[in-house]
Structure 1
Amino acid sequence: MSVEVVQVAASVSDVSVPLPFTRTVFPGSGGRAAATVKPPPQRYGPFTKVQWAGAAIVGGAGLLFAAAMAVLAVRWLLSLEPLQEFVGTYPGEYHLPEGAPVGIPPWLGWQHFFNVFLMVLIIRSGLQVRNQSRPPAYWSPQWNLSRKISINLWFHQSLDILWIVNGVIFVVLLFVTGQWMKIVPTSWEVFPNAISAALQYVSLDWPTENGWVNYNSLQQLAYFATVFLAAPLAIITGVRMSGIWPKNAKTLSRVYPVEWARAIHFPVMLYFVVFIAIHVFLVLATGALRNLNHMYASQGSVDPNAYADNWLGFWLFVASLVVIAAAWVAARPLVLAPIARLFGKVSER
């Protein structure tokens, strides 16, 4: 091989020699930069935000469709003669016993406000206890500083005690004043009347009512279940999970396991949430001013249209919401710690 051929081959393979023309294409960064892995979207429970939004839209549309079908079906049923006779016989309420009180006294309105105030905070603190990973602070009773619970649990149990006291006073006054006759069924007619009231509600031809005098049977059953069934269940299961339960009562703990209490306590809380939501909706949808005057201003009449244009109860209701909202915002460790120190020791660990 000649010297000239070797030199030409070397010059061709020499990559350090610049190209004889200007580059017009960007070389790219694929070969120089490391591949970036996009993090998966954050999940809230089983779904991401987008998936939750989609589920809410699809679920809401499904519920609206199902509700529309239910309304049409019930309205068709009520157009049949047997159902018309049934509603005529059982209009949705029955007569109260002789001597039943008329009206809503002021003490009942105040009890109603205290109950709502405490229930909202109990639900909030209960969810905090259920979802907390690391408590912001701990509380120990003065008589046993070695025992520590989270400050959120202390707040929840303190509210429970106040709620129980308020409930005992409420039940005592119910039976002393005779108001119990408005929420405790006194006739078997309550059941067909409750079915009639439910059909009327679903058909959107709501039953005529005047809570100042009497509740319809569906309301009566709901109030009875809330006061005399759900509330005791919440108390019994709450006591089992609290520090009040004796630790050395092995036989009693075996008969009533804490797992049973936990399995019941949360569904009872969900019942209260659903009850409050439906209750508030119906109060506002079936004559808001009149109903709010009954409960918050103790104003009413045997005439169902009375006080329909009086705004006193409405503004008292708004004021109560402001108080509840302020308590909701204030219920945080910075505010709770000084109060908790009055009853024990607060520490970070």
Structure 2
Amino acid sequence: MLPGRSLWITLAWVVPLATIALAAAVLAAQSIRALPTVQSFLVQFPGASTLPEWAPIGFPAWLAWQHGLNAFFILFVVRSGWQIRTAGRPTMFWTRRNTGLLHTRNAPTRMSINVWLHIALDALWVINGLLFYVLLFATGQWVRIVPVSWDIFPNALSAVLQYASLDWPVGDGWVNYNAVQTLSYFSIVFVAAPLALASGIRLSPVWTSRRLRQLLPLRATRAVHVGVMVFFLVFIVVHVTLVFATGALRNLNHMYAVSSDDGWTGFWIFAASLAVMLVAWFAAGPRLLKAVASIGGTVTTR
């Protein structure tokens, strides 16, 4: 059977089943919400924890820039990582020049051009992330994405039930995230990102420690790395969907225009960022990769 036909056959039964399961989940959540005890629970835990009085309101300009850069980097990190897993025999290889301070007794590091691109993008993503961590704690913005009380969990359950019943939590991200958002952002920033970095270092060609290889098996590390990628992709799909479904203009202004109105500024900045990503996507072909990779090493076809 042809691969394309197999895909369409799979979608022919997966999509209807997923639609039925989603509709059943919504109906079940709506029925549960109608129960008196559940209604009392929703009143007691509306879906968001109270922030300290000193918590900042709104988003600074640096956070908007960080968000845009992170979206750009993560797109191409995932793309290059997927190319590593799905591409056949590499058409180009990158070899580090062992000159000056980089000269060692070992042979120069050699890798496929896709691996080089993935590592280069990871480096930019990590630099951007380190700056994000510094600014996050220096400006107090950390309190918006780090749980500060145990009621975050019942509030998260409340918010999930509200989302599932399609009667979504009432709130304003400009002032305070709901509990599901807080836990999601905390997981991305302080769990998934460090795991992606740690597992990526273990999988990279520059890993040479034999002792640590035994402590960190390659197969298990690869499973963690791929699992984190899937987690990022699921988060992105849900995140983008909710951004547009819960007030697109206001949400885009929060993230891109650092304002809390319903104007179009954030939308046009977002559209421009998508245009840049699209141009970069098609521009990142073999010729450009070879030219950029040649700056720090030697690119060959074998």
Picking from 132, 147, 151, the partner of 1:185 is 147
What does residue 125 of structure 1 align with?
80
Answer whether contact 2:243 2:251 (CA < 8 A) is retained.
Answer: yes
| Structure 1: 5+ residue stretches without partners | 1-40, 44-48, 301-306
**2:156 maps to amino acid:** A
TM-score w.r.t. length of structure 1: 0.83
Task: Say yes or no: does 1:333 pair with 2:293.
Answer: no
User: SS of the counterpart of 2:94?
Assistant: strand
Picking from 223, 242, 248, the partner of 1:263 is 223
Query: 2 CA distance for matches of 1:51 and 1:130?
Result: 21
What does residue 14 of structure 2 align with?
59
Task: Say yes or no: does 1:319 pair with 2:272.
Answer: yes
**Superposed, which structure 2 residues align to 1:169-248 within 5 Å?**
169-245=131-207, 247=208
Query: 2 CA distance for matches of 1:117 and 1:196?
Result: 33
- Structure 1 residues 195-238: Cα deviation after superposition (integer angstroms, max 9, x where no partner): 00000000000011211100000000000001000001000000
**2:125 maps to amino acid:** W
More displaced stretch, 125-134 vs 278-287: 125-134
- Structure 1 residues 121-144: Cα deviation after superposition (integer angstroms, max 9, x where no partner): 001100111112111211011117
Larger Cα-atom Rg? 1
Identity among equivalent pairs (%): 47
User: SS of the counterpart of 1:126?
Assistant: helix
Query: 2 CA distance for matches of 1:42 and 1:51?
Result: 6
Shift in Å, 1:295: 0.7
Query: 1 CA distance for matches of 2:108 and 2:243?
Result: 48
Shift in Å, 1:250: 2.1
TM-score w.r.t. length of structure 2: 0.95
Query: 1 CA distance for matches of 2:177 and 2:147?
Result: 11
What does residue 2 of structure 2 align with?
42
Query: 2 CA distance for matches of 1:340 and 1:52?
Result: 36
**Superposed, which structure 2 residues align to 1:21-36 within 5 Å?**
none
RMSD: 1.1
Shift in Å, 1:42: 2.9
| Structure 2: 5+ residue stretches without partners | none
What does residue 88 of structure 1 align with?
43
Query: 1 CA distance for matches of 2:285 and 2:226?
Result: 22
Query: 2 CA distance for matches of 1:152 and 1:234?
Result: 17
Shift in Å, 1:51: 2.9
Answer whether contact 2:29 2:165 (CA < 8 A) is retained.
Answer: yes
Q: Which has the higher helix share?
A: 2
Picking from 63, 81, 84, the partner of 1:108 is 63
**1:181 maps to amino acid:** V
Task: Say yes or no: does 1:139 pair with 2:94.
Answer: yes
Query: 2 CA distance for matches of 1:52 and 1:255?
Result: 39
Query: 2 CA distance for matches of 1:191 and 1:330?
Result: 45
What does residue 285 of structure 1 align with?
245
- Matched positions, count: 295
Shift in Å, 1:272: 0.4
- Structure 1 residues 33-81: Cα deviation after superposition (integer angstroms, max 9, x where no partner): xxxxxxxx433xxxxx223212212111111111111111111111110
What does residue 276 of structure 1 align with?
236
Shift in Å, 1:146: 4.2
Answer whether contact 2:109 2:206 (CA < 8 A) is retained.
Answer: no
